[in-house]
A and B are shown apart, each in its own frame.
Chain A
């Protein structure tokens, strides 16, 4: 079956512009996660959804970052007034439920470059 998909695969934007990153999880997966990976670094947890609700938003680096999930499926990560330090690969993952024992399936990521 289809895996996790993300769009766009690459995004180049100018400093100060807003960007939207999209994630389509595996069908039937109730949990969805967003991570950020800067060049040569590990994964930084941003936010997760169980269904449409986000119990924990504390990983979002600033109030310029927001995420939503509608219909328990597609999620959008929005970054407002982008800064150069926002440049990174943004990874989305999904799992059956939000549990440390459930395998997370990752998408290919969106590479964001802020000029």
Chain B
């Protein structure tokens, strides 16, 4: 069971780069790492997914070290609209185990002007 650990909250200012790190010491060989974003009163939304090294899309970058025991979501030049809760998930197929994909409490990012 690949449990994840993230900071409960983070504060930043507009225009700064924000890095949120997630620990997943028990990650399995076939596990992928996925990040979701949730705004108040909305369901989570997919941001980015990776297996190893670095993945970049139009929204964020995901850095995964060689041992894959952690991952870092990087948000470049945040704005007020990036204020949200960010969840790190680790898993593969559900395969009958409800623990394979777990949304923890996430990291509440607050961006200030």
Contact residues of A with B, CB < 8 Å? 4, 35, 41-45, 48, 50, 55-56, 58-59, 91, 93, 98-101, 103-109
Max chain A C-beta neighbours (<10 A), residue from B42, B90, B91, B104: B42
Given contacts A43-B103, A106-B44, contact A99 B98 (CB under 8 A): no
- Chain A hits for B91, CB < 8 A: 100
- Chain A hits for B95, CB < 8 A: 55
Contact residues of B with A, CB < 8 Å? 31-32, 34, 36, 41-46, 49, 87, 89-98, 100-106
Q: How far is the CA of A98 from the CA of B44 in the complex (A)?
A: 17
**Which of chain A's residues has its CB closest to B93's CB?**
A99
Main secondary structure of the interface of B (DSSP, over half): loop
**Which of chain B's residues has its CB closest to A105's CB?**
B46
B92–A101 touching, CB < 8 Å: yes
Q: How far is the CA of A67 from the CA of B102 in the complex (A)?
A: 19
Given contacts A42-B104, A103-B46, A108-B42, contact A55 B92 (CB under 8 A): no
B49–A45 touching, CB < 8 Å: no
B34–A100 touching, CB < 8 Å: yes
B49–A108 touching, CB < 8 Å: no
A56–B43 touching, CB < 8 Å: no
Q: A56-B96, A56-B97 are in contact. List 8 more A-B contacts (CB 8 A).
A: A45-B102, A58-B98, A91-B44, A98-B94, A104-B36, A104-B46, A107-B43, A108-B43
**Which of chain B's residues has its CB closest to A100's CB?**
B91
- Chain A hits for B105, CB < 8 A: 41-42
Q: How far is the CA of A105 from the CA of B87 in the complex (A)?
A: 14
**Which of chain B's residues has its CB closest to A103's CB?**
B46
Given contacts A101-B32, A107-B43, A108-B42, contact A45 B96 (CB under 8 A): no
- Chain B hits for A99, CB < 8 A: 92-94
B96–A55 touching, CB < 8 Å: yes
What is the distance, in angstroms, from B13's C-beta to the closest C-beta of chain A?
A: 24
